[in-house]
Amino acid sequence: MVKRNAFYAQSGGVTAVINASAAGVIQTARRHRARIGRVYAGRNGIIGALTEDLIDTGRESARSIAALRYTPGGAFGSCRYKLAGVDANRAQYERLLEVFRAHDIGYFFYNGGNDSADTCLKVAQVAENLGYPLQAILVPKTVDNDLAVTDNCPGFGSVAKYVATSMREAAFDVASMAKTSTKVFVLEVMGRHAGWITAAVGMADDAATPIPLVLLFPEIAFDEAKFLAAVDARVRAFGYCCVGVSEGLSDAQGKLLADAGTRDAFGHAQLGGVGPLLAALVKDRLKYKYHWAVADYLQRAARHLASKTDVLQAYAVGKAAVEMALDGGNAVMPAITRISDKPYRWKITQAPLSKVANVEKMLPRDYISRDGYGITAKARAYLGPLMKGEDPPPFKDGLPQYVRLKNVPVAKKLKATFVLD
Amino acid sequence: MVKRNAFYAQSGGVTAVINASAAGVIQTARRHRARIGRVYAGRNGIIGALTEDLIDTGRESARSIAALRYTPGGAFGSCRYKLAGVDANRAQYERLLEVFRAHDIGYFFYNGGNDSADTCLKVAQVAENLGYPLQAILVPKTVDNDLAVTDNCPGFGSVAKYVATSMREAAFDVASMAKTSTKVFVLEVMGRHAGWITAAVGMADDAATPIPLVLLFPEIAFDEAKFLAAVDARVRAFGYCCVGVSEGLSDAQGKLLADAGTRDAFGHAQLGGVGPLLAALVKDRLKYKYHWAVADYLQRAARHLASKTDVLQAYAVGKAAVEMALDGGNAVMPAITRISDKPYRWKITQAPLSKVANVEKMLPRDYISRDGYGITAKARAYLGPLMKGEDPPPFKDGLPQYVRLKNVPVAKKLKATFVLD
């Protein structure tokens, strides 16, 4: 059995649990030392491979790697750097393989979303064309939950839990202020194209604690008059209203609301997001006092409130990626397959990257209520299990204790350097 | 021993732990049934007293009252309604006492901050002048931590824990994105006049996990050039920078930055807060990619991340308020007195409201580092214990379970109604 090294990289926006996947990859590789030699990580993602800036994860203690399981962010650094098409920029791919060859990389684990699936697939194809033996596996990750084939995507469940919890808590606050003060609260959430995170806000409301919500999905064109009527009706009926809005809310022409010509004191286009915009609209037209919040990175970094299901699945896809590689898999991804809703049961299956790359899984229309402002029972059945369970990190002196790795560089072997675009 | 009823009201902005104080008041009163008959709560705070809209807390089960300990928001409703000065509006105070007389209220527990201390004191004075036997006790509450005499104020510790945790988590995210994407992250926090919450953001950074922070306190006049230089220096040294800014940041002329003439698409003044404004400034002058978050109500409602110290103290001041009343106290407040930092020890003492009303306790200058952008060891010693310990609420199906009370109204006894201003 040939023993070769592995390369692992984190790609795109990070999540509260992407490091749990890293732990899954590294710990599993360490249990197969006969076949996997060293596990190198790319410093700042794929850029680390291109520039031969590799990190030797072998220099990290077992304890540090275990601590990745509960540490948010990307421990080795990530990047927003999309590899060009193979025809457009073959040199990039050849450089990648040159670095892999120099360090005897036989396993490529790429932890990312749609774009990364595409890159991972191309790397596999170029390697095959050039006769370089490589197994390229995508480790799925995205808070947006828009990856195809897999039932859900690690990273999403924790954001879902965060936004639902935050909206529920804020609603308790607003309800108590509404008599003389704030009547409308707007929470802007991530998910520019697909409304999965917006749908999760809907879970704040349930039979035990009903909350008058209006959800604004990127999939539903914004209708100002209808929106204002919906908010007004809730304020009149319940005394207050909570609005959960996707950053990607667009009008009927597909134009982002957040891009509606806003100018700040410096004359910049678009100072705020769509959240404050809607809050001001409510104030202007309905005269209700408002508050708004934009959680931004807080929602995807909130490891303190991670979903246990999410953490387990993030770890599982990392582990499965290594097992699939050892099993001969190439250009594939561990997908989460749901067996049942109640009780929630799931398993890891293998999906070909050709079915995942560049496909965006939108929120099904039947997850959105008929009026477009809420979620259906079907959405609840889907979302519920993903946010289930708590898995808090260790706390010390009142604050979560997260690990910082040493990130020791691997000695360079190539003479040629690579200049990024 | 005369048995009389008690009135409890929540005032001003609510917190993650104000209901823990309510639980402290109600549970303690229930243990003294020989002297305290019924505990009525004002629906929506003092407005409930003025309009004779009282809630009979006796209709709530022991279990529901116990659940208040971990439920955010104001369970009986709060209000922003400042009673006018006694001379300006004697009718308000007389109406209050008329309602108290009708329901045989002998104990007035007012759960609020600076303004409420003033109101509580005036109610005590008017009652005394009119010969109406009443004991008026302030139960301290404010996320702003700006109450005098007490070492700290219930509500603050949990916000402190939330903002420090959130900034730490976001910093882990930003650090991983900084190579190709976000280099500057701005988190806007509450505390318009006093920088206590801004200081708490500084706790995100410690020896184990250093974070390049720039804090902008309301107490320090904003200097644009100096701020940009500070951010730039950190980005150059560490690759990224995290900015924690008070919503009350002002320039040298005392003008709020958030009020700097911003206009949105609808032509409103000030769409966003100071957070997005600073982020845009950084982008404009330093060309760094940015992200910003405004936590708003999320920070003061985040019961899921409450400080255990804060919860214990919030409960303790509620309990002590009742005990002080039974002990003959009037126009007083239970204050938290710190005995030692390490180990943190504290006790409840009694403070006269005359020393608390209308006094704003600002962040001491020696809690802020010399350059004005950080906190000192003295600040750390003060803040650390207040955010210590976790006390999560029960979770069910992935979400915190909070109680909604029945809030059964008490039958009105007065014929006259009262019209609010």
Q: What angle do CA A320, A325, A330 make, to 5 degrees?
A: 115
Chain B environment of A10 (Cβ under 8 Å):
176
Question: Is the pLDDT confidence value at A138 over 70?
Answer: yes
pLDDT tier, B135 (very low <50, low <70, confident <90, very high otherwise):
very high
Question: Cβ atoms within 10 A of the Cβ of B308, count?
Answer: 18
A231-259 CB burial, b ≥16 within 10 A, e <16: bbebbeeebbbbbbbbbbbbeeeeebbbe
CB contact under 8 A, A13 and B297: no
pLDDT tier, A271 (very low <50, low <70, confident <90, very high otherwise):
very low
Chain A environment of B183 (Cβ under 8 Å):
none
For A12: left if phi > 0, alpha if psi spans -120 to 50, otherwise beta; the answer is: left
What pLDDT is stored for residue B264 in this prediction?
A: 44
What pLDDT is stored for residue B269 in this prediction?
A: 45
Q: Based on the domain organization, do A297 and A178 belong to the same domain?
A: yes
Look up residue B290 and give its two tokens: 């940015």
Instruction: For residue A30, count CB atoms less than 10 angstroms from its CB and return exposed for 0-12, middle for 13-18, buried for 19 or more.
Output: middle
The mean pLDDT value of chain A amounts to 94
In a domain, A377, yes or no: no
The tens digit of pLDDT for each residue in B344-399 reads 999 999 999 999 998 999 999 999 999 999 999 999 999 999 999 999 999 999 99
Size of interface A-B (CB pairs under 8 A): 277
Chain A environment of B286 (Cβ under 8 Å):
none
Q: Based on the domain organization, do A310 and A297 belong to the same domain?
A: no
In a domain, A43, yes or no: yes
In a domain, B370, yes or no: no
CB contact under 8 A, A401 and B301: no
Chain A: residue whose CA lies nearest to B257: A265
Percent of chain A scoring above 70 in pLDDT: 96
CB contact under 8 A, A297 and B384: no
CB contact under 8 A, A180 and B397: no
Strands of the A184-189 sheet, one edge to the other? A213-216, A241-246, A184-189, A290-294, B290-294, B184-189, B241-246, B213-216
pLDDT tier, B261 (very low <50, low <70, confident <90, very high otherwise):
low
Phi, psi dihedrals of residue B92, rounded to the nearest 5°: -60, -50
CB contact under 8 A, B398 and A303: no
Q: Based on the domain organization, do B291 and B315 belong to the same domain?
A: no
Helix, strand, or coil here: B377?
helix
Instruction: Count how many domains chain A has.
Output: 2
Chain B: residue whose CA lies nearest to A242: B297
- Asked if A54 and A409 count as a contact pair (C-beta separation under 8 A), the reply is yes
Alpha helical stretches, state H, A13-113? 18-30, 46-50, 62-67, 90-102
Look at chain B and count its residues: 421
What pLDDT is stored for residue B265 in this prediction?
A: 43
Q: Cis bond leading into A352, ω under 30°? A: no
Look up residue A49 and give its two tokens: 């491979």
In a domain, B376, yes or no: no
What's the mean pLDDT in A170-180? Answer: 96
* Nearest partner of A107 among A3, A212, A17, A221, judged by Cα: A3
Instruction: Give the integer Cα–Cα distance in Å for A109 and A5.
Output: 11
What's the mean pLDDT in A155-166? Answer: 98
CB contact under 8 A, A172 and B402: yes
- DSSP result, B194-207: -THHHHHHGGG--S
Helix, strand, or coil here: A320?
helix
CB contact under 8 A, B44 and A294: no
* Catalytic site includes residue B118: no
- For residue B124, the distance in angstroms to the closest alpha carbon of chain A comes to 24
What pLDDT is stored for residue B230 in this prediction?
A: 98
Q: Based on the domain organization, do B167 and B295 belong to the same domain?
A: yes
Of these residues, B53, B118, B144, B391, which one is catalytic? B144
Q: Based on the domain organization, do B244 and B312 belong to the same domain?
A: no
Please name every residue paired with A36 in a beta bridge, in sequence order, or none if there are none: A4
Instruction: For residue A271, count CB atoms less than 10 angstroms from its CB and return exposed for 0-12, middle for 13-18, buried for 19 or more.
Output: buried
Q: Based on the domain organization, do B85 and B202 belong to the same domain?
A: no
Q: Based on the domain organization, do B98 and B208 belong to the same domain?
A: no
Chain A environment of B307 (Cβ under 8 Å):
398
What's the mean pLDDT in A116-126? Answer: 94
Chain A: residue whose CA lies nearest to B172: A73
Q: What CATH number is associated with residue B102?
A: 3.40.50.450
Q: Which of B13, B73, B271 sits opposite A172 (nearest CB)?
A: B73
In a domain, A342, yes or no: yes
Q: Based on the domain organization, do A162 and A177 belong to the same domain?
A: yes
Residue A421 or residue A391, greater confidence: A391
Question: Is the pLDDT confidence value at A267 over 70?
Answer: no
What pLDDT is stored for residue A419 in this prediction?
A: 84
CA distances from B81 to B29, B50, B116, B404 (A): 26, 11, 10, 24
Chain B environment of A185 (Cβ under 8 Å):
297
Chain A: residue whose CA lies nearest to B9: A176
Instruction: Give the integer Cα–Cα distance in Å for B101 and B4.
Output: 10
In a domain, A363, yes or no: no
Which active-site residues of A does the annotation give? 144
> Mutation test of the interface with chain B: which of A44, A116, A176, A386, choosing the one with the most B Cβ atoms within 10 A?
A176
Q: Which of A74, A75, A280 sits opposite B266 (nearest CB)?
A: A280
Q: Based on the domain organization, do A135 and A216 belong to the same domain?
A: no
- The whole domain housing B353 covers 4-142+306-358+391-400
Phi, psi dihedrals of residue A109, rounded to the nearest 5°: -110, 115
What pLDDT is stored for residue A269 in this prediction?
A: 46
What pLDDT is stored for residue B260 in this prediction?
A: 54
Question: Is the pLDDT confidence value at B147 over 50?
Answer: yes
Phi, psi dihedrals of residue A365, rounded to the nearest 5°: -60, -30
- Return the H-helix or E-strand segment holding A226: helix A224-238
- For residue B260, the distance in angstroms to the closest alpha carbon of chain A comes to 7
- Asked if A2 and A106 count as a contact pair (C-beta separation under 8 A), the reply is yes
CA distances from A99 to A12, A127, A132 (A): 21, 12, 12
pLDDT tier, B259 (very low <50, low <70, confident <90, very high otherwise):
confident
| From A70-84, A295-309, B390-404, the region with the lowest mean pLDDT | A70-84
Q: Which residues contact B377 (CB under 8 A, 6 or more apart)?
A: none
Question: Is the pLDDT confidence value at B247 over 80?
Answer: yes
CB contact under 8 A, A271 and B277: yes
* Nearest partner of B402 among B155, B71, B113, judged by Cα: B71
In a domain, A216, yes or no: yes
* Nearest partner of B4 among B94, B95, B107, judged by Cα: B107
Chain A environment of B79 (Cβ under 8 Å):
177, 179-181
Q: Based on the domain organization, do A296 and A311 belong to the same domain?
A: no
* Nearest partner of A120 among A354, A364, A326, judged by Cα: A354
State the number of CA atoms in the 13 A half-sphere of A185 facing the CB.
31
Percent of chain A scoring above 90 in pLDDT: 89
> Mutation test of the interface with chain A: which of B249, B297, B420, choosing the one with the most A Cβ atoms within 10 A?
B297
* A36-42 and A54-56 beta bridge pairing: antiparallel
The tens digit of pLDDT for each residue in A5-56 reads 999 999 999 999 999 999 999 999 999 999 999 999 999 999 999 999 999 9
Q: Based on the domain organization, do A316 and A293 belong to the same domain?
A: no
- Asked if B299 and B189 count as a contact pair (C-beta separation under 8 A), the reply is yes
Q: What CATH number is associated with residue B182?
A: 3.40.50.460
The tens digit of pLDDT for each residue in A408-419 reads 999 999 998 888
Q: Which of B79, B260, B295 sits opposite A180 (nearest CB)?
A: B79
Q: Based on the domain organization, do A32 and A63 belong to the same domain?
A: yes
CB contact under 8 A, A398 and B161: yes
Phi, psi dihedrals of residue B363, rounded to the nearest 5°: -70, 125
In a domain, A421, yes or no: no
Instruction: Give the integer Cα–Cα distance in Å for A18 and A110.
Output: 11
Instruction: Give the integer Cα–Cα distance in Å for B158 and B317.
Output: 16
Instruction: For residue B93, count CB atoms less than 10 angstroms from its CB and return exposed for 0-12, middle for 13-18, buried for 19 or more.
Output: buried
What pLDDT is stored for residue B418 in this prediction?
A: 85
Chain B: residue whose CA lies nearest to A280: B271
Helix, strand, or coil here: B208?
coil
pLDDT tier, B98 (very low <50, low <70, confident <90, very high otherwise):
very high
Helix, strand, or coil here: A366?
helix
CB contact under 8 A, A303 and B169: yes
Question: Is the pLDDT confidence value at B267 over 90?
Answer: no
Helix, strand, or coil here: B375?
strand
What are the strands, taking DSSP E only, across B13-84? Answer: 36-42, 54-56
> Mutation test of the interface with chain A: which of B81, B83, B152, B172, choosing the one with the most A Cβ atoms within 10 A?
B172
- For residue B3, the distance in angstroms to the closest alpha carbon of chain A comes to 31
Chain B environment of A293 (Cβ under 8 Å):
294-298
